Amino acid sequence: MIYDRRVASGLLGHLLGAISGAAVARGTSFLKDRLGQAVFGSAITIVDDPLRRRAPGSRPFDGEGLACQRRDLIAAGVLTGWVLDLRSARQLGMAPTGQGARGLSSPPGPASSNVYLQPGASSQGDLVASIRQGLYVTELIGSSINMVTGDYSRGASGFWIENGEITYPVSEITIAGNLADMFRTLQPADDLEFRGAVNSPSCLVEGLTIAGL
């Protein structure tokens, strides 16, 4: 299955939810015991860069006055640390990471800034050509995601891939799997573009179940 870059950023959003210090402190993350372990392939690096110029999430200091710095959330596939504000850092007995965000009517909480998945070496066309049968996802609808177990199920539409070629449009289907398994097989294309606070190239993900065709 290939996620178009417009929807692949949602996979990074699920990762950010799972490595939030608040979720880890509550024990409600399927990655809570995976710190320092490989959760992606060795070619995967995911960066949070609050100092990138003219980006929507850029800031020199976080919402609690701590200096921000660029950090690799995932380095060569390994989960390097949590996204921590002062409160969650204290709960976990760790140092804060300068990633606290303050709302207008709520206390500060952990939050990322400018997150992106570094691009791979293959083009999106190369990824499509490598698939005998599969789905090219262009739109995701609804959500049923259990962040405690990582179980993943979403409505989707896009195009069917047959023998390495995009053939016909499909809609009103369901894709399901587990985020931990999806992360392990994820392979990025080379088409990264910076458009928002969370950015990803197109991604190939293996092992999902497709229903409704």
pLDDT band at 105 (very low <50, low <70, confident <90, very high): confident
**pLDDT value of residue 83:** 98
Q: Which of 83, 117, 151 is the last residue in one of the domains?
A: 117
Residues 136 and 49 in one domain: no
Residues 111 and 125 in one domain: no
**CA 47 – CA 112 distance, rounded (Å):** 10
Residues 42 and 107 in one domain: yes
**pLDDT value of residue 3:** 97
Residues 47 and 62 in one domain: yes
Find out whether 179 and 145 touch, Cβ atoms under 8 Å: yes
Task: Judge whether residue 212 has pLDDT over 80.
Answer: no
Residues 17 and 112 in one domain: yes
Residues 88 and 139 in one domain: no
Once rounded to an integer, what is the mean pLDDT over residues 69-92?
97
Q: Which of 77, 99, 117 is the last residue in one of the domains?
A: 117
Residues 136 and 189 in one domain: yes
Residues 14 and 112 in one domain: yes
pLDDT in tens, 126-179: 999 999 999 999 999 987 899 999 999 999 999 999 999 999 999 999 999 999
pLDDT in tens, 34-44: 999 999 999 99
pLDDT above 90: percentage of residues in the chain = 94
Give the total number of structural domains in the chain. 2
Of 8, 43, 26, 203, nearest in space to 115 by CA = 8
Domain interval for residue 68:
9-117
**pLDDT value of residue 123:** 96
Residues 124 and 71 in one domain: no
Residues 24 and 111 in one domain: yes
Residues 108 and 31 in one domain: yes
Find out whether 27 and 161 touch, Cβ atoms under 8 Å: no
**pLDDT value of residue 207:** 82
The pTM assigned to this predicted structure is 0.95
